[in-house]
Amino acid sequence: MPNATLVVAAAADGYSLKSVVLWPCHKLPDELRLVLSSQLDVWGENEGWMTEALFLKYAEEVLLPGITQRRETLKKSDERCLLLLDSHSSRAQPDLWKRFADSLIDVVTFVPHTTHIAQQLNRGVFAVFKKTINANYEAPSSSSVVLRREALADVLPQALQTSLFPSTIKSSFAKSGVL
């Protein structure tokens, strides 16, 4: 079965940036275009996995501008930011890490195979997301791929919105011991 990846960035105060679903395709199917919004985007990628190029794109289009905008909103443009990441190979980009450092963003990565315990979003946000998908996804009686994607597109925005409630995000950070 093809893989899809959900990319989420959230802060300990409950704030979240735009999320992205990495979908295994070259051209985004029409039925998935329906879920695009100011809080969710879907990017096509051969395997549905994060790559160096996609992580760079996410950093340039979402993380860096989102963190800058959040600092401006909070009137803390000179404050440092702590970015917690898993140790996936797509993160090994020295030039990007320099840009983070130049932007006053300190990056800490988790030891491999510990994110299910230590990473804050795995401790709550992703659990709520999966639970909401599982509770609301109704597999079509037909084996049509288009119908399956449409059924997923129907529940994806609700699952993301539910999982990114500020209280869920804050609880995730608390469970991981970050707060």
User: pLDDT tens track of the chain, all 179 residues?
Assistant: 467 888 999 999 999 999 998 888 888 888 888 777 778 888 888 888 888 999 999 999 999 999 999 999 999 999 999 998 888 888 889 999 999 999 999 998 887 776 666 677 887 899 999 999 999 998 888 888 888 888 888 899 899 999 999 999 999 888 877 66
Res 71: pLDDT: 95
End-to-end C-alpha distance for the chain, whole angstroms: 37
The alpha carbon of 135 is separated from its chain's Cα centroid by a whole number of angstroms, namely 21
Q: Which two tokens stand for residue 108?
A: 């800490």
**Cα(4)–Cα(47) distance, integer angstroms:** 8
- Collect all residues with Cβ–Cβ distance below 8 Å to 11 and sequence separation of at least 6: 70, 169
Q: What is the pLDDT of residue 115?
A: 61
Residue owning tokens 């890490």 = 97
Task: Write down the pLDDT at residue 78.
Answer: 92
Single-letter amino acid, residue 155: V
CA distances (Å), 19 to each of 10, 31, 96, 119, 156, in order? 9, 18, 20, 17, 11
Sign of CA dihedral 65, 69, 71, 72: positive
- pTM for this prediction: 0.87
pLDDT of residue 11: 92
E-state strands within the chain: 5-7, 19-24, 40-45, 81-85, 105-109
pLDDT at 2: 67
